[in-house]
Every structure is written in structure tokens, then in C-alpha cells.
Amino acid sequence: MPSSSSSPTTDPRPLPRLTRITRALGLAAIESASVGMASWELSGHATLPIHTHENQLWAEARRFIFYDMGAALAVGAVLVAALLVWKRDLGVVERLVRRFSPLALAALVPLLFDARLWAGWDLVFLPLALAFGFGTWAAARAVLETEPVFPGLAGRGRALYDLIASARARVASVLSRVDVPLLVAVAGACAYAVYFAAITIDAHRNLATSSFDLGLEDNLMWNLVHGGPIFKSTPFDGPTGTHLRNHATFFSYVLAPVYRLAPHPETLLAVQAVMMGAAAIPLQLYARRHVSPWTATLVAFLYLAYAPLHGANLYDFHYLPLGVFFLWLALYAVEARRPP
């Protein structure tokens, strides 16, 4: 007699058919109702705060909640009935509703991602977010543990699977010749540069520059590219003074060719955003000499997400933040024994 450990594990007492039907239909009803509620929350976006906080809603809008949920329930019932008529197999319905179990959480998504609802309601938001997290974990587990809904299609899809596998192999072969972690870091630096250039220029044009630093540096650059006296900055030093007695900003000569192409304060803001974002690239190169390439890319992204970096970028225009790029570049060059 074979041992119990070698025999496959089976359920000695299968569930009654009525229990299976009730469970499948109940889960399908929860998923359908949740999708219907989510559709109302998205369409009634403007009324969500008063409805959530005070449970106040005019009668017509309140009826639409039931209309949306009823319509979703009706669609779900039709789909389940059609599947039963087509396949005549309760197991197909059970597997299908388990595969779609994440839809049971759909009604919570528009609520959790609407910041208007949670100002001052942190103690309500936290347990709701916790419940959503556990629900997502349970739904994902149900999906992964459920067999394919239509096992017979697996053989028919073998050719498609082989085609996808071949395409993935080709892509992997191409990517093996590309430094993907560095490429991701470069993409992050570009995204940072575009975003902060746009918002700082927009802030400047809306009169949100908070001190006269941008004005004096713009005036200094204008005089420099138009042949004026060395480091002349009239807003700060008057018509005859020189800014050299305050700051020896010789780096302005490096920026002069770029500024000459577009002599505007927006050029300085864009250059600042580009150089501060570009510092993530030599940082990634320096970090990967000590950690794995992907960990180095994570370090670069942590730099780009660093709040003090953003504060410096949003504070008009200054030369010191531009030095971060050269700091990481110098550290990388020294450690890699490469000449500058």
C-alpha cells in the first residue's frame, strides 16, 4: 500500500453543489456591485466629498448609485448565465469569479486615491488603506492559486506562447548589449530636468520668484554676453560696482554660450534643472563601483527624490546647486582612475 505522503492530496469531502453555487454567485455579485459603485464614484467625482463626509446627496444622484450597481449586477448575471449555458460546467464559473476577485476592491480605489476626502481624516484613511492592502493580497493569492478558466485553450495557445517566448528571447538578447540600469538612470534624470524646468519657469512667469537672485544673475549674464564690464550686475551692485566683490562666479563664462542663444532668465532656470537632474548620472556610475547596477540606479532615483534638492531647485537660480554634478563626476573619475 503506498504511503499517504506519496499519494496526491485530495479533498475527502467535496463541497455540496448548492454551497459552490452560492459561493460563486455571491462573489460574482460582490465584484459586479463593486464595479458599479466605482463607476458611480468616478462619474460623480464632484459630489464625493460631501457624500463621504456628511452622507448628503440629492435624491436623483443617490438613485444613480443604485442604477449603476444594478446595471453592473445585471451584466454580471447575464455573463454568468451565458457561461453556464455555454459550458454547462460550474467549475468554469468558479474559476472565472476567483480570477476576477480583485474587482471586489474596485469601489475602494476612487476613494483611496482622492486626496480631497482625507484631509483631517487620517484615522479613517489608515485602517481603510490597511484593509485594502490585505484585500489586495488575498485577491492576488486567489488569482495565482486558481487554475486556468479554460484549460483546453492551453494547447491551442501553445504556438502563441512559443512566439512570445521567442520575442522575449530576442529582446533579452538586445538588452544584454545595452546598459539598462544606466539607461533608466538617464531617463530619470531627463524626467527630473523637464519637470523642474517647467515648474520653475511657470513659477517665474507667475511672479513667484522669491528673491532678487534670479534678477541679478540674469543681469550679470546679459552684461557678460553683450560685452559689458566684468561681473557687472546693476540690481545688486549699482551702475559702477562689480559682483566680484560678493561672489566670484566664473562659472558664468561656462554658461555664457548657452545664455547667448536665449538671453532670458528662463534659460538659467532650465540650465539649473538640467544640471541638477544630470547629477544622477555620475552618481549612478560612482555608486555602481560599490553596489550592483540596479541598486546604483535606485541610489540615483533616491537622489532625484531628495526633498532638499527640490528646495534648492525651486529657490530661484544659484551656482552652488550646479556643483553637485561636478562633485559626483569628480568622485567617479578619481575612483575609476579616469582623467577629467
| pLDDT at 179 exceeding the cut of 70 | yes
Are residues 141 and 239 located together in one domain of the fold? no
Domain assignment of residue 173, yes or no: no
Count the residues in the chain: 340
Of 157 and 286, the structure prediction assigns the larger pLDDT to 286
pLDDT digits (tens, 9 = 90+) for 50-63: 877 777 777 777 78
User: Do 296 and 230 reside in the same domain of the chain?
Assistant: yes
Range from 32-36, 153-157, 210-214, 279-283 carrying the lowest mean pLDDT: 153-157
CA 237 to chain centre: 46
- Of residues 162, 153, 17, the one with CA closest to residue 90: 17
Q: Which residues contact 190 (CB under 8 A, 6 or more apart)?
A: 277
Q: Is residue 10 part of a domain?
A: no
Per residue in 208-242, pLDDT (tens digit) is 877 678 888 888 888 888 877 777 777 667 676 77
Same-domain check for residues 327 and 261: yes
In a domain? residue 158? no
Give 96's pLDDT tier (boundaries 50, 70, 90).
confident
**Domain range spanning residue 52?**
17-151
Q: Is residue 161 part of a domain?
A: no
The number of distinct structural domains making up the chain is: 2
- 27 versus 5: the higher-pLDDT residue is 27
| 293 in any annotated domain | yes
Q: pLDDT value at position 242?
A: 72
- Per-residue pLDDT for 101 more than 50? yes
- What is the reported pLDDT for 22? 87
Write down which residue in 104, 133, 151 finishes a domain: 151
Closest CA to 290 of 301, 278, 299: 299
Taking all residues of the chain, what is their mean pLDDT, rounded to a whole number?
A: 84
Would you state the torsion angle of the CA atoms of residues 330, 333, 338, 339, taken in this order, to the nearest 10 degrees?
-10
Q: Of the residues 109, 135, 151, which one is the last residue of a structural domain?
A: 151
Q: Are residues 186 and 92 in the same domain?
A: no
Please check whether residue 9 lies inside any domain of the structure.
Answer: no
Q: Are residues 186 and 329 in the same domain?
A: yes
User: Looking at per-residue confidence, does 229 or 3 come out higher?
Assistant: 229
For residues 154-163, average pLDDT? 64
The answer on 145 and 187 residing in a single domain is no
Quick one: 144 and 238 in the same domain?
A: no
Residue 117 has pLDDT above 90, yes or no: no
End of a domain among 109, 130, 151?
A: 151
Per-residue pLDDT at 259: 92
| Cα(340)–Cα(337) distance, integer angstroms | 9
Give yes or no: residues 143 and 185 share one domain.
no
pLDDT at position 299: 96
- Are 184 and 312 in a shared domain? yes
With respect to residue 7, please indicate whether it lies within any of the assigned structural domains.
Answer: no
What pLDDT score does 198 carry? 95
- Is residue 287 within 8 A of residue 302, CB to CB? The reply is no
pLDDT digits (tens, 9 = 90+) for 255-294: 889 999 999 999 999 999 999 999 999 999 999 999 999 9
Establish if 131 belongs to a structural domain.
Answer: yes
Higher pLDDT, 46 or 153: 46
Residues 318 and 198 grouped into a single domain: yes
Residues 287 and 187 in one domain: yes
pLDDT at 200 (0 to 100): 94
The pTM of this model reads: 0.53
Same domain (yes/no): 201, 311: yes
Grid cell of 303 as nine digits:
537622489
